[in-house]
Amino acid sequence: VPRRGLSFDPIAEAERQWRVHGWEDVAPAMAVVTSVMRAQQIFLGRIDALLRPLNLTFARYELLMLLLFSRRGSLPLGKIGERLQVQPASVTNAVDRLEDGGFVRRVPHPTDGRATLAELTPAGRRTAAQATKLVNDAFAAIGLQEQELTVLFDLLRKVRAGAGDFQP
């Protein structure tokens, strides 16, 4: 997305405004929240654009990779939502699309009549590998050094843990 860049950083400018208006104490946190929002928008836009030709989105790609890394190439939908930290409705939606694309099959759970498994098809396996090549290029293009990535990850991990996302 070659949207023309601004001649200044709008988030830095917003932080300045917060300070000017007497909220110096929360200005840095505000800037961080806004930066996270914007970074997410950038990442998602890039990756979704890359994956579009494969009939995938980042959300569906994550689901595909989770299945690929699973022992049997299949998982109950509930387990998927738990791992991906999304609502059941989102899992249903993503699996619907993946099934339409022929990447996944719904299979009844062998022992629990309430549950459904999403199972990778051979096409799903192939496409996951193909998509990973594309996505890896996008990851590499982030432009941070190994150590910076580690610091960034650790800080965000602290944020997530603080929000009760998992037991640290």
Partner DNA sequence: TAAGATTGACTCTTCAATCTTC
Partner DNA sequence: GAAGATTGAAGAGTCAATCTTA
Give residues 42-81 in contact with a second copy (rule: CB under 8 A). Answer: 42-44, 46-47, 58, 62, 65-66, 69
Q: Where are the alpha helices (DSSP H) in 74-117?
A: 77-84, 88-100
The neighbouring-strand residues paired with 105 are 119
d(CA 110, CA 46): 39
CB atoms within 10 A of CB 75: 21
| CA-based nearest residue to 34, from 17, 11, 9, 18 | 11
Binding mask 1-40 for DNA (x = CB under 7 A): x---------------------------------------
d(CA 52, CA 56): 6
d(CA 55, CA 101): 7
d(CA 115, CA 61): 22
Residue 129, binding choice from DNA, a second copy, none, Cβ under 5 to 8 Å by partner class: none
**What are residue 63's phi and psi, to 5 degrees?**
-65, -45
Residues 56 to 115 in contact with DNA, rule: CB under 7 A: 57, 59-60, 76-79, 81, 86-97, 106, 109, 112-115
Q: How far is the CB of 75 from a second copy (least distance, A)?
A: 13
Considering the rule CB under 8 A, would residue 3 count as an interface residue with a second copy? yes
Which residue in the set 2, 89, 111, 114 belongs to the binding site for a second copy (CB under 8 A)?
2
Considering the rule CB under 7 A, would residue 132 count as an interface residue with DNA? no
Residue 112, binding choice from DNA, a second copy, none, Cβ under 5 to 8 Å by partner class: DNA
Nearer CB in complex with DNA: 19/99:
99
Footprint of DNA (CB under 7 A): 1, 41, 45, 49, 57, 59-60, 76-79, 81, 86-97, 106, 109, 112-117
